[in-house]
Amino acid sequence: MIGGSPGRDGRSTSRQLDPRMRLPTIGALLLAFALMVSLTENHVTAALADSGWVLWEHTYEVFVDDNKNQQRRSVSWKRVTAVAARTDCDDRRMREARAEFDLLTGKGVGATLTGSEVGFDQRNTRFKRGYRSFECWPGAVDPTKTKGK
């Protein structure tokens, strides 16, 4: 008998758990708690991604074909940072573009800065002009999977 007074049939009336049941019960509770925290964390992360903004660096090249049509080839998308507010993303977008322009011109590369788009001269490629465009997208949108970009 583990504590408590004996009942009519001689068994304990105490509601204490058998020591052999404590460990599995504690383990089950810990597992349930961990699952609950994990699910909550995933929902919070998803909610922040949906409401936040992501700054992307889009690199692409442009050339003129034989028919004098301008052709554009996307090279890469690189996630730069995530922020909560659109205004913060816009500010960062302009700073990143200015820093890229300063870096290129500091190396002697012919470059132009238009808003948040940096154009630069390229050598040894049929794509004579390259671009890096800094773009803010909603956190839930992945521009690498967006058609028409």
Residue 70 has pLDDT above 90, yes or no: no
The Cα 136–Cα 76 span in angstroms is 15
Sort strands 129-138 and 53-64 into parallel, antiparallel or unpaired.
antiparallel
Contact 32, 40 (CB under 8 A): no
The full set of domain ranges for the chain reads 1-51, 52-145
Interval 95-132: pLDDT, tens: 999 999 999 999 999 999 999 999 998 876 667 789 99
pTM of the model as a whole: 0.60
